Amino acid sequence: MKINRTKNASRNIIYGVILKTYQLIIPFVMRTAMIYLLGVQYLGLNSLFTSILQVLNLAELGVGSAMVYSMYKPIAEDDTTTICALMRLYKIYYRVIGLVVCAAGLVLLPFIPKLISGNVPSDINVYVLYLMNLAATVLSYWLFAYKNSILQAHQRVDITSKVMILTETIKYVLQFAVLAIFHNYYYFVIIILLTQIMTNIITAIASDKMYPKFQAKGNLPKEEIQQINHRIRDLFTSKIGAVIVNSADTIVISAFLGLTVLAIYQNYFYLITAMIGLITTVFASVTAGIGNSIIVETEEKNFKDLQKFTFIIAWIAGVCVSCFLCLFQPFMRVWVGENLLLDFSVVICFCIYFFMLEINQLLNTYKDAAGIWHEDRFRPLVTALANLGMNLVMVQFWGIYGIILSTVLSMFFVGMPWLLHNLFTVLFDKKLLGEYLRKLMLYVVVVFVSTCTTYWICSLILLPDIPLIIVRLTICCIIPNLIFLIAYHRMDEFKGSMKLADKMMKGKIQVLKKLGA
């Protein structure tokens, strides 16, 4: 089956960005409503339960990634029988995972209050609230979750994005209504449970309509099941590492510094993760295409694609870093007030963390698309344990600053060097690593120069916060892009990126150039 990678990626990115933008703006409104209608501690509770459930989701073990990867080859070969058998195996695994998550969640129930430092809102029973969140997680596995795999493997995550835009709209309208009318956090969480059910059912219906010949039936050879199980086993440590990194910061802050401090931290981190989510849309949209390319294209072609994608991500992340550094503090003053600001040094750490994470995500996308899980099985766990160890020590000396700094240090000194080594010994020739690192260092230097220049220009402007935000945002959109254009316009990666953009826009860029000439 011939997959049009560029067309699918374009479609996925468009709808994915629409969804992520929607998920940035509307939850921001909801978060603001919670601060003013309920109180800042409810935000802390929400973040804590999300992190706990991420830990419980370790039971997933990376089954989804392993199963989708296993579908790339049969889809390329139009092997319907194998695809159906894979879906049946996926269905069985997810039923078991749901049971494991449920059981583990119930075992953890008595310990929930010990993860909270300080007071809990008087009208909240943490046990009931936790069980409601647990139910939403369990149902996400039990209700047709396996059907989403066929959409992912065919590079049609735009369908999932459309479904989520619909169900998220219903969720946010209902949540805002219950906050405004009832001021009741329990109703708020019940709506999450109901819309999770709705999302899974509608996605399953869409999958059946688009790919009716793919149903969960048949059996795989034992040898193939063993290969899949080996991939899942190799993904386990990767999954543990990701969960520790994503959840440890939140849980450590809650346990050592309390729900109020956690909520302040999450206000900043919410904006960071929202932008990460937007860019992750690009990664999710091209993963299946990269997997297909690795199978059917040459190593040289795939390495050039990696260089091109690295260039694009470095450009996008570089502009975002300037925006974060220049806009975070005035925006927070307008949004939540002077009393809920973090120190500017924490903002700098957030910016470094963001840029490193985006490059790291790209490398992980290639690792997952190529199925390099066995060679990479220990890296995420070691990185995460280093992060957790530094968290527990540094939070006691530097508070929030120590939490973010420990994440940056563990990623820079452990995670990324190890990941690069794995990619350039398994997927690419090791001789190409030097060339790749030189380009990467160039991007870092250019981003540093553009960010410092942009911040210096912004610091010269003295205005009230709201007009200051508008002026600084305009500067952040112009200055970094201008510096990047001057620095990169002769590079092959720039020319290749422009060709890719023109292809995704169906030749409109070339038409504009001709009109301009």
Query: Could you tell me the end-to-end alpha-carbon distance of the chain, in angstroms, rounded to an integer?
Result: 41
Distance, in Å, from the CA atom of 386 to the CA atom of 265, rounded to the nearest integer, reads 21
pLDDT at 322: 95
Question: How many whole angstroms separate alpha carbon 354 and alpha carbon 318?
Answer: 10
Structure-derived torsion over alpha carbons of residues 204, 205, 209, 215, reported in degrees to the nearest 10: 40
- How far apart are the C-alpha atoms of 246 and 137, rounded to whole Å? 17
Strands (DSSP E) contained in 112-243 are none
Query: How many CB atoms within 10 Å of residue 48?
Result: 26
The Cβ of residue 428 has, within 10 Å, a number of other Cβ atoms equal to 19
How many CB atoms sit inside 10 A of residue 299's CB? 12
Following CA atoms 461, 463, 469, 471 in sequence, which dihedral angle do they give, to the nearest 10 degrees? -50
The residue type at 27: P
Q: pLDDT of 101-146, one tens digit each?
A: 888 888 888 887 777 766 666 777 878 888 887 887 788 777 777 7
What digits encode the pLDDT tens for the residues 363-394? 988 887 787 877 887 888 888 889 888 888 88
pLDDT tens profile 61-82: 556 667 777 787 787 778 888 8
Q: How far, in whole angstroms, is CA 304 from its chain's centroid?
A: 24
Structural tokens at position 47: 């973040």
Place of tokens 């190409």: 432
Q: What share of the chain is helix, strand, coil (3-state, %, to 5)?
A: 85, 0, 15
The residue count of the chain comes to 517
Whole-model pTM: value is 0.68
* DSSP structural state of residue 378: S
Residue 3 confidence (pLDDT) above 60: no
Give the tens place of pLDDT for each residue, 4-55.
555 666 666 676 667 767 767 777 777 777 777 776 666 666 666 666 665 5
Q: Which residues contact 190 (CB under 8 A, 6 or more apart)?
A: 132
- Asked if the model's pLDDT at residue 467 lies above 90, the reply is yes
How many other C-beta atoms lie within 10 A of the C-beta of residue 204?
17
Joined tokens for residue 215: 């149903």
Q: Output b/e per residue, 440-452; b: 16+ Cβ within 10 A.
A: beebeebbeebbe
Question: DSSP string covering 61-90, please?
Answer: TTHHHHHHHHHHHHHHTT-HHHHHHHHHHH
CA atoms within 13 A on the CB side of 389: 8
* Burial bucket for residue 180 (CB in 10 Å: 0-12, 13-18, 19+): exposed
What is the C-alpha separation between 417 and 431, in angstroms, rounded?
A: 15
